[in-house]
Amino acid sequence: MKILVIGSSRGTGQLLVDELVRAGHDVRAMIRNPAQGDELEQAGATPVAGDLEAEVGPAIEGVDAVAFCAGSGSSTGPDATLRVDLHGAVRTVDACVELGVPRYVMLSSMGAGDPLQGRESIRHYLAAKHAADRILLGSGLDATIVRPGGLTHDPGTGRVEIGVPRLDRRGTIPRADVAAVMARAFAEPATVGAVFDVLSGDQAIDDALSAL
């Protein structure tokens, strides 16, 4: 499968590139800064130019699927969050619909289902994720929305707990395990149309996804 990873240069997106390459997919990695291309090429991906605040169509054209892992970052304010996490995401959804790219896996956030229940300091972020998720679900694409808890840089364990649509507890999960969940979602039909929270747990990732 030819998959475009958006938000590929760092964090969960960079780990997702590695997971998809290892799984044998043809991976494109969308970047704004050409200097980011060398490391992604070394990882086995093909860098392509794109800007969530301008033009994404050329990067998306010709792929089979998109994985959205971009984010404005914790140090930015509400305006940047709206530009990237909401409007940027919606721009890619619209491009997929227009170009006939059927499959879309979204990295969202635990709490996006009910932003007003989140901490006041991050409600703008959860609200942006909530709106982007709703628009993706209404787009007609074969969508999967992954909502992890607090992200850590710990090594992945390969074991998770999944709640549909949400879990009744808070917690954390290594970015590596979130990347593995997203990568394996592309090969698991049960994830199409699914929205779920995910934390570290006791169930193997493949078993947890196939049970959705």
Q: pLDDT in tens for each of the 212 residues of the chain?
A: 999 999 998 899 999 999 999 999 999 999 988 888 999 999 999 999 999 998 999 999 999 999 999 987 655 667 778 888 999 999 999 999 999 999 999 999 999 998 878 677 778 889 999 999 999 999 999 999 999 999 999 999 999 999 999 999 999 999 999 999 999 999 999 999 999 999 999 999 999 999 99
Q: Are 175 and 149 in contact (CB under 8 A)?
A: no
- Catalytic sites, residue numbers: 125
CB atoms within 10 A of CB 6: 24
Q: What is the largest CA-CA distance in the chain?
A: 42
Architecture, CATH, for domain 2-210: 3-Layer(aba) Sandwich (3.40)
Q: Are 8 and 20 in contact (CB under 8 A)?
A: no
**CA proximity to 108, closest of 83, 92, 85:** 85
Q: Are 29 and 55 in contact (CB under 8 A)?
A: no
How far out from the chain centre does Cα 127 lie?
16
